[in-house]
């Protein structure tokens, strides 16, 4: 069974860094893209970017280019989404999703002073 399990909810202050994770199982992780989708409170879905773990080829949506970093570690079948300096506007639910149409359960990120 294909599964994506995300790390737990985070509460951070503006300016702090953060890295959230998405552990994949049940399929060949290097061979299928995996990416991140943002959902702000009460709003719709936005693709942030995707990574092909096999060669680390990464594509970002223009809205998120330079704002976040997507990476993957094929030795532990895990994808990551990271921020170097969080803003309150980064408060949202973040989902990982892969090319096999599996989704993680979501990670709630709250940024508040």
Partner 1 sequence: EIVLTQSPATLSLSPGERATLSCRASQSVTNYLAWYQQKPGQAPRLLIYEASNRATGIPARFSGSGSGTDFTLTISSLEPEDFAVYYCQQRSDWPQTFGPGTKVDIK
**Residue 54 found at the interface with partner 1 (CB under 8 A):** no
Residue 5, strand partner residues: 23
Q: How far apart are CA 49 and CA 9, in angstroms?
A: 20
Instruction: CB nearer to partner 1: give 41 or 113.
Output: 41
Q: Which of residues 89-108 bind partner 1 (CB under 8 A)?
A: 95, 97, 101, 103-106
- Return the range that interacts with partner 1 (CB under 8 A); candidates 13-21, 54-62, 69-77, 78-86: 54-62
Q: How far apart are CA 98 and CA 102, in angstroms?
A: 6
Q: How far apart are CA 11 and CA 71, in angstroms?
A: 22
> Which residues of the chain form contacts with partner 1 (CB under 8 A)?
44-47, 49, 59-63, 95, 97, 101, 103-106
């Amino acid at each position: 069974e294909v599964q994506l399990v995300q790390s737990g909810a985070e509460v951070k202050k503006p300016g702090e860094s953060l890295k959230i994770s998405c552990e994949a199982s049940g399929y060949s992780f290097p061979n299928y893209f995996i990416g991140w989708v943002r959902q702000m409170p009460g709003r719709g879905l936005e693709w942030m970017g995707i990574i092909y773990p096999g060669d680390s080829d990464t594509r970002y949506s223009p809205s998120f280019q330079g704002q976040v970093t997507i990476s993957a570690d094929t030795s532990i079948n895990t994808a990551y989404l990271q921020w170097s300096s969080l803003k309150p506007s980064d408060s949202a639910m973040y989902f990982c999703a892969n090319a096999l149409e599996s989704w993680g359960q979501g990670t709630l990120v709250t940024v508040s002073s």
